[in-house]
Amino acid sequence: MSRKVWRKASYPESVLTRKLILFDIDGTLLYAGKTPSEVFAESIGFIIGKTVEFPKQIFFGRTDTFIIREMLRQHLATPADGEYHRIREHFIHSMKERFPHSDDGFLIPGVREYLDTLKNESDIHLGLVTGNFKETAFVKLSRFGLDEYFETGGFGDEAEDRQELLRQAVEKATRHYGKCFSSEQIVVIGDTLHDIHSAHHWGYRSVAVSHIRNKDTLLEGKPDILIENYMGLKGSQCLFE
């Protein structure tokens, strides 16, 4: 029996020049302030009939689907899908009403200028990979004027697990742009260990943003690149070197 020899996948030159950059939102593009976690806790409490504390530190990098289901597991003996859907709808409705008028939060320094630079590079394609529900993701982006940069993405409605979320984000970007992307030409930019680990799971490059996170904690995940913010970044090439 002949021995099977594994070779690195080869791609046409046209594929190798296509680059996909997927951004997380919270802590990566912007800091949304206290309103989202307050609304989340209120929505869960309203549906289950008891006051709950929202342990935000535990849920960094998790999807909204995971957060709701985990909170239900903690507070109800037999959580049901109906409660999940009611919390989700209550949260989305409340975020649409309250977040556009909240006065805290900020953009990560240099992010708008960097997105402008990337949009002007013909071989760069942008997308999102965020644990936010799709509707609340764009509520956040719209308030800061970043919604116009993103036409596709993977969202917390679609997956509970971050690795599956990333797989779906790449699949949707491939369909949206009508182009294939090699793993070497995909970069995931995030601010938690979950972002780093999911990128490495699929063989993609990982960029960690430490502006509101602990740099040493992020380094434990061994990102390919660690940046504090986007100030001084000139283009996409530095992400792929």
Nearest-angstrom CA–CA distance, 162 and 181: 20
Task: Decide: 212 and 28 in contact? Cβ < 8 Å.
Answer: no
Last residue of a domain, one of 46, 75, 101: 101
- Is the domain of 23 the same as that of 53? no
Q: State which of 75, 101, 127 marks the end of a domain.
A: 101
Q: Give domain status of residue 1, yes or no.
A: no
pLDDT tier at 81, thresholds 50, 70, 90 = confident
Nearest to 230, CA basis, from 66, 111, 84: 111
Same domain, 47 and 122: no
Determine the pLDDT at residue 177: 96
**How high is the pLDDT of residue 122?**
92
Q: Is residue 5 part of a domain?
A: no
Q: Does residue 80 share a domain with residue 26?
A: no
156 and 191 fall within a common domain: yes
pLDDT of residue 59: 79
pLDDT of 56-73, one tens digit each? 676 788 999 999 998 888
Q: Do 203 and 159 fall within a single domain?
A: yes
Bridge-based pairing of strands 106-107 and 30-31 is antiparallel
- The position carrying tokens 């320094």 is 109
Residue 8 lies in a domain: no
**CB atoms near residue 57 (< 10 Å):** 6
Q: Quick check: 79 pLDDT over 80?
A: no
Query: Are 60 and 170 members of one domain?
Result: no
pTM of this prediction? 0.91
Q: What is the pLDDT of residue 17?
A: 64
Confidence at residue 27, expressed as pLDDT on a 0 to 100 scale: 96
- Whether 139 and 79 share a structural domain: no
Examine the domain organization and report whether 142 and 231 are in the same domain. yes
Report the alpha-carbon distance of residue 11 to residue 25 in Å, rounded. 31
Q: How confident is the model at residue 241 (pLDDT cuts 50, 70, 90)?
A: confident
User: What's the chain's Rg over C-alpha atoms?
Assistant: 19
Instruction: Look at residue 194 and tell me if it is in a domain.
Output: yes
Q: Residue 162's pLDDT is what?
A: 93
- Average pLDDT score over the chain: 90
In a domain? residue 111: yes
Domain that holds residue 76: 35-101
pLDDT at 9 over 80: no
Residue 176, amino acid: H
Q: Are residues 136 and 198 in the same domain?
A: yes
CATH number at residue 115: 3.40.50.1000
| Domain assignment present for 3 | no
Predicted local confidence at residue 8, as pLDDT: 44
The answer on 180 and 70 residing in a single domain is: no
| Angle 152-158-159 from CA coordinates, rounded to 5° | 120
Q: How many domains does the chain have?
A: 2
Kindly tell me the burial class for residue 105, based on how many C-beta atoms sit within 10 Å of its own C-beta (0-12, 13-18, 19 or more): middle
Pair (130, 210) in one structural domain? yes
DSSP the chain: -PPP--------HHHHT-EEEEE-SBTTTEE--SHHHHHHHHHHHHHHTS-----GGGGTT--HHHHHHHHHHHH-SS--HHHHHHHHHHHHHHHHHHGGG----EEPTTHHHHHHHHHT-TTEEEEEE-SS-HHHHHHHHHHTT-GGG-S-EE-TTT-SSHHHHHHHHHHHHHHHHT----GGGEEEEESSHHHHHHHHHTT-EEEEE-TTS-HHHHHHT--SEEES-STT--SSGGG--
Query: Is-contact 106 30, C-beta < 8 A?
Result: yes
Structural domain includes residue 4: no
Domain boundary among 72, 101, 130: 101
Do 142 and 119 fall within a single domain? yes
The reply to whether 18 falls in a domain is yes
